[in-house]
């Protein structure tokens, strides 16, 4: 049996500028697109460079969200919409549960990891101590959707010091990340041998969400605290700007090494594959497992922030955007990608990488997949 090749601990960096500034049939574009597809297949994640992205917009966004989540709980509760499965507005801490705590296939993934590479223990199935805000960045479908709860109107916070800054900051940063991730959907399609617009067109009316999460590090700043338990994302691609506090770990190809994510300063973003991309590729690209925890580096940054910015809230904000396919889109594996997935699975097995029981990807609406996942994480009855 062949010895498995070591996977680099550094995520590949994909340059969106190459794609945007050269003819789509040029050798440079072809090579960069293939690199993007390979990165998602191998790691379920990559670092994306986009010179249009401004770090100051991310800083403005992080300042706003720190101020928002520093409000009293009674103010935040006004923005809750549990009747819409918390798919808009705020979700308070200890609401969402990590699916992997009780999901058998997920537990099997953890079991196959070397003990030193496993995530922090989530077997107690405690809810995550994180808060979240969902802000829709989507075009209203020109048809009547079967999933109105996933396509609801935005909630705008009402506190004066928040409200006046809210729309400009959310729209500016959300638009930057949406443009970047849509460029990557085109690059990924080209790299997989598909027409450039394949995924982008199917996501035109997707319920995309600017989705910052917030963790109160005054309460939850102790080392080895789980802020977001081991899980995958239910959307198509997730894109992140830099957080002020480290703590995000990802796993390469679900059964590999735990990688502490580092996003370079400047116009760089982290992208992760989600369940919708896994489904449409028949498992060729797998939704990437990840966790957010308080690690040694988090503790170091907490100490520095307290010294340098004593008047700022000590809240970890993730600068996150969830890009979705249309809720009403018929989701089924693309046949040639499903065949390639089978070939890769066999190759992985021959290299000594057991990926567990083979998954099936039955045809369904995208919205049905989302609703199933929401039930698993205690956000939908």
- DSSP-derived 3-state class of residue 50: coil
- Show the tokens assigned to 133: 């805000």
Q: Hunting for tokens 């109107």 — which residue is that?
A: 153
Instruction: Supply 73's token pair.
Output: 């709980």
β-bridge mates for residue 133, sequence order: 90
pLDDT tens-digit map of 240-289: 999 999 999 999 875 578 889 888 888 999 999 999 999 999 999 999 99
Q: Which residue numbers in the chain have pLDDT < 70?
A: 1-9, 99, 102, 124-125, 149-151, 254-255, 354, 376-381
Distance of CA 197 to the CA centre of its chain: 21
Name the helix (H) or strand (E) containing 16: helix 16-20
Classify the C-alpha dihedral 293-295-297-299 as positive or negative: positive
C-beta separation of 162 from 90 below 8 A: no
- Dump pLDDT digits (tens) for 123-154: 766 788 899 999 999 888 888 888 876 667 89
pTM, 2 dp: 0.91
Q: Would you state the pLDDT for residue 198?
A: 97
pLDDT score for 105: 79
> Where would I find the beta strands (DSSP E) of 58-191?
89-91, 131-136
Cα 267 to its chain centre, rounded Å, is 18
Among candidate residues 256, 274, 299, 228, the one with its CA nearest the CA of residue 366: 274
Q: Residue 298: what pLDDT?
A: 96
């Amino acid at each position: 049996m062949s010895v498995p090749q070591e996977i680099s601990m550094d995520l590949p960096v994909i340059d969106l500028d190459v794609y945007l500034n050269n003819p789509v049939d040029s050798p440079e574009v072809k090579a960069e697109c293939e690199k993007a597809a390979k990165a998602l297949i191998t790691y379920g994640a990559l670092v994306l460079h986009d010179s249009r992205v401004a770090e100051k917009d991310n800083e403005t966004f992080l300042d706003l969200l720190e101020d928002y989540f520093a409000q009293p709980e009674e103010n935040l509760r006004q923005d809750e919409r549990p009747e819409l499965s918390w798919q808009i507005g705020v979700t308070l801490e200890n609401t969402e549960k990590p699916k992997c705590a009780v999901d058998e296939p997920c537990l099997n993934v953890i079991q196959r990891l070397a003990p030193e590479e496993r995530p922090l223990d989530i077997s107690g199935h405690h809810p995550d101590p994180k808060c979240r805000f969902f802000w829709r960045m989507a075009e209203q479908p020109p048809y009547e959707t079967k999933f109105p709860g996933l396509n609801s109107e935005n909630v705008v916070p009402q506190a004066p010091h928040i409200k006046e800054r809210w729309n400009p900051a959310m729209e500016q940063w959300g638009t930057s990340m949406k443009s970047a991730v849509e460029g990557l959907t085109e690059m990924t399609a080209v790299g997989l041998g598909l027409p450039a617009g394949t995924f982008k067109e199917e996501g035109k009316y997707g319920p995309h969400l600017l989705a910052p999460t917030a963790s109160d590090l005054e309460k939850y700043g102790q080392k080895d605290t789980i802020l977001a338990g081991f899980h995958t994302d239910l959307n198509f691609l997730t894109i992140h700007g830099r957080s002020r506090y480290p703590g995000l770990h990802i796993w390469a190809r679900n059964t590999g090494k735990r990688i502490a994510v580092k996003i370079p300063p400047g116009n760089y973003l982290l992208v992760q594959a989600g369940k919708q991309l896994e489904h449409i590729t028949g498992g060729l690209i797998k939704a990437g497992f990840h966790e957010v925890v308080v690690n040694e580096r988090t503790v170091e940054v907490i100490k520095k922030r307290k010294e340098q910015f004593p008047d700022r809230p000590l809240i970890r904000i993730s600068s996150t955007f969830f890009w979705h396919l249309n809720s009403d889109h018929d989701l089924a594996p693309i046949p040639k990608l499903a065949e390639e997935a089978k070939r890769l699975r066999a190759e992985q097995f021959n290299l000594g990488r057991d990926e567990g029981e083979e998954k099936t990807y039955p045809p369904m609406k995208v919205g049905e997949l989302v609703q199933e996942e929401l039930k698993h994480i205690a956000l939908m009855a």
